Structure 1
Amino acid sequence: MTADAVDPCTLTPAHFDHVVRVTTRWSDNDMYGHLNNAVYYELFDSAINGWLITGAEVDVMALPELGVVAESGCRFFRELEYPHSLDVAVRVERLGRSSITYALGLFDGRSDELAALGHWVHVYIDRDSRVSVPIPSSVRELLESAVAAR
């Protein structure tokens, strides 16, 4: 079951493969007093790459393959603001030959209430030729193990 196939209001961090706790920063708030929309994307990007770096034990900057963002989006459900802790959750929705589709949840760390539901597609390309290539084996192993553990 994909995160999009259920009512988003029922999702909790337990529906995801990897969850990281973060703390908002003063500079994250915009002039309206809540987290700027761009911050949500920064949090998603950091959660995915942090998981790949620590979980797959790879230096994403040194791999001959690059995981580039081919598509992203976000549905916002409630405001978040500084100072609060948040849980950024990542789930593998689809694991292809050269692409990965992730669902991303941003939760209020005090209540596990979903604030935003994002999606992100990484496509792996060769660093030099920029041609699509298979997902690196260490990354694939990590993500396959997460899917298998469900």
Structure 2
Amino acid sequence: MSRAAAPVRADFRYWQRFTTRWADNDAYGHVNNTVYYQWFDSLVNQWLIERDLLDIGQGDPIALVVATDCQFFSSTAYPGQIDAGLAATEVGSSSVRYRIGIFAAGDENAAAAGHFVHVAVTRTGRRPTPWPDAWRVALRDLLI
């Protein structure tokens, strides 16, 4: 099986820094794979909040995660800081595919990379619905 090359910082449009925590390390001395998915979720939601798109309690539509994946290229560990990069690779009428890279602070190549797919759905019926104009404009700004 061939392995894709690790993404580089230039592949991403938005950045957030996270500090690793003692509890993030697993028995093997590196950040456990489940923590990467927490970073993915926090990164995307922080981007949405900063753009006034996500109203957790009252917003309509809401965005549900329908798919994620992650490939690992190198380890991260506590103590340390990581930079999480975000871009969009596809924006559909009611879905978006984000690309996410996790970098040890200062590294040019990603330690891990993955994708995260959101689908816009109505709050009450949970049925797909088109992105509102403000969402569509913001999501397109993330396109690479």
- Corresponding residue number in structure 1 for 2:123: 127
Matched AA of 2:12 = F
**CA contact 2:9–2:109 (8 Å) conserved in 1:** no
- Corresponding residue number in structure 1 for 2:83: 87
**CA contact 2:13–2:142 (8 Å) conserved in 1:** yes
**CA contact 2:94–2:131 (8 Å) conserved in 1:** yes
**CA contact 2:12–2:85 (8 Å) conserved in 1:** yes
Identity of aligned residues (%): 36
- Corresponding residue number in structure 1 for 2:5: 8
The CA deviation at 1:65 is: 1.1
- The match for 2:52 among 57, 75, 97 is 57
Residue 23 (str. 1) matches residue 19 (str. 2):
yes
Runs of 4+ in structure 1 deviating by more than 6 angstroms, as ranges, are: none
- Corresponding residue number in structure 2 for 1:100: 96
Helix, strand or coil at the partner of 1:70: strand
The 1-side partners of 2:59 and 2:67 are apart by: 21
Number of aligned residue pairs: 140
The CA deviation at 1:103 is: 0.9
Residue 112 (str. 1) matches residue 113 (str. 2):
no
Gaps of 5+ in 2: none
The 2-side partners of 1:139 and 1:26 are apart by: 36
Helix, strand or coil at the partner of 1:74: strand
Helix, strand or coil at the partner of 1:144: helix
**CA contact 1:22–1:88 (8 Å) conserved in 2:** yes
**CA contact 2:45–2:54 (8 Å) conserved in 1:** no
Taking only aligned residues, the RMSD between alpha carbons, in angstroms, comes to: 1.4
The 2-side partners of 1:35 and 1:60 are apart by: 30
Gaps of 5+ in 1: 1-6
The CA deviation at 1:8 is: 2.7
- The match for 2:38 among 36, 42, 48 is 42
> Which structure has greater helix proportion?
1
The 2-side partners of 1:93 and 1:118 are apart by: 12
- Corresponding residue number in structure 1 for 2:67: 71
Normalising by structure 2, report the TM-score: 0.90
Normalising by structure 1, report the TM-score: 0.87
The CA deviation at 1:83 is: 0.8
